[in-house]
Amino acid sequence: MSATPGGGSTQTDGPATGPADRLGLKAGMVVQELGWDNDTDDELRAAIEDRIDADMVDGDYGNVVDAVLLWWRDEDGDLVDGLVDALTDLVGGGAIWLLTPKVGRPNAVDPADIAEAAPVAGLSQTTTAAVSKDWSATRLLAPKTPA
């Protein structure tokens, strides 16, 4: 482990240091990808599929998923509607990773818009991570379903 001047660590020994690992995804998870377009980060997509050891599923999957990867741009419409749609197949307590262009990039989404839309869609915002040169990821948690 290497220490940073602030006392934290930058990375640990072993393979869990890439962007897909920052998303907390593990082998065997079913990850649904929504909002894919020609501007998405193919390197990140490949890293995620390597990490879960499977292809991501699309919106037509029709079964429960462990996590949703939602690519979203400012021009994509109403974010609340997009988040509610992303909840359709998500297991209770699962995470939506909202991927948006970084601030300053074309079609960047204002972080205040995310903070406002998440609770309206019934989600809790927890973490934001830089996952590629052009995209940031915001982790939104769905409420756990009663047992």
pLDDT one-digit tens code per residue, 9-60 = 333 334 456 888 889 999 999 999 999 999 999 999 999 999 999 999 999 9
For the entire predicted model, the pTM comes to 0.85
Secondary structure of the chain in HEC code, one letter for each residue: CCECCCCCECCCCCCCCCHHHHCCCCCCCCEEEECCCCCCCHHHHHHHHHHHCCCCECCCCCCCEEEEEEECCHHHCCHHHHHHHHCCCEEEEEEEEEEEECCCCCCCCCHHHHHHHHHHCCCEEEEEEECCCCEEEEEEECCCCCC
Q: pLDDT (tens digit, 9 = 90+) per residue, 56-89?
A: 999 999 899 999 999 999 999 999 999 999 999 9
Find the CATH number of the domain harbouring 40.
Answer: 3.40.50.150
Q: Does the residue 7 lie in any domain? A: no
Residue 83, domain extent: 30-141
Q: pLDDT (tens digit, 9 = 90+) per residue, 88-144?
A: 999 988 999 999 999 999 999 999 999 999 999 999 999 998 899 999 999 999 877
Domain count, the chain: 1
